């Protein structure tokens, strides 16, 4: 059952516990949305400008991973990390060609592995860490709180895309044949 309360989660400081509550709620709704999808539905691409649901799920995981690197390690992706996550981060034609033929379990595993690390790292942080500021290369300031807000914002946005893709699935018979 989905919990519709923002509450401080155990083993976290107050604000971080509330942030974790929001991250978990966001993810729970996403998981509920995709829970019954088959591999051909995860691979379905509705038109030339669309991404598959599978690609969007890996994108959600990649955004969270990148924000871990920025927030917890104060750096950008390394070469090996870029090789693993770059296609999912950028989406588009490369993602259409290469992010496919995976089961729902594959995407769930990727989402869960990234989230597990997020929660481990957040347990070691204090509320004041959320407000620590840094700057992008262009000089624009941000804080850690914003980074994790963006993780949720991005997932919610792509969940909307997932819902749209699902509404535009061809007939059930078509998808069963593929």
Query: What tens digit of pLDDT does each residue of 94-153 get?
Result: 999 999 999 999 999 999 999 999 999 999 999 999 999 999 889 999 999 999 999 999
The three-state secondary structure class of 73 is helix
State the Cα–Cα distance between residues 63 and 66, nearest whole angstrom: 5
Q: Where are the chain's structural domains?
A: 14-177
* pTM of the full structure: 0.93
The architecture of the domain spanning 14-177 is Up-down Bundle (1.20)
Phi/psi class of residue 36: alpha, beta or left (left: φ > 0; alpha: ψ in -120 to 50)? Answer: alpha
Query: What tens digit of pLDDT does each residue of 17-71 get?
Result: 999 999 999 999 999 999 999 999 999 998 888 899 999 999 999 999 999 999 9
């Amino acid at each position: 059952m989905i919990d519709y309360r923002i509450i401080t989660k155990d083993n976290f400081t107050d604000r971080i516990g509330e942030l974790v509550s929001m991250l978990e709620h966001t993810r729970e709704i996403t998981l509920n949305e995709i829970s019954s999808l088959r591999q051909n539905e995860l691979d379905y691409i509705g038109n030339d400008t669309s991404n598959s649901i599978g690609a969007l799920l890996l994108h959600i995981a990649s955004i969270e991973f990148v924000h871990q690197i920025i927030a917890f390690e104060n750096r950008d992706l390394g070469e090996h990390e870029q090789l693993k996550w770059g296609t999912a981060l950028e989406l588009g034609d490369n993602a259409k060609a290469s992010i496919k033929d995976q089961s729902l379990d594959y995407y769930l595993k990727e989402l869960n592995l990234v989230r597990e690390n997020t929660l481990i790292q957040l347990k070691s942080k204090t509320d004041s860490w959320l407000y620590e500021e840094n700057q992008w290369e262009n000089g624009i300031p941000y804080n850690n709180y914003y980074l994790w807000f963006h993780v949720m914002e991005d997932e919610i946005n792509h969940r909307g895309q997932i819902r749209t893709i699902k509404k535009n699935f061809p007939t059930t018979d078509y998808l069963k044949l593929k």
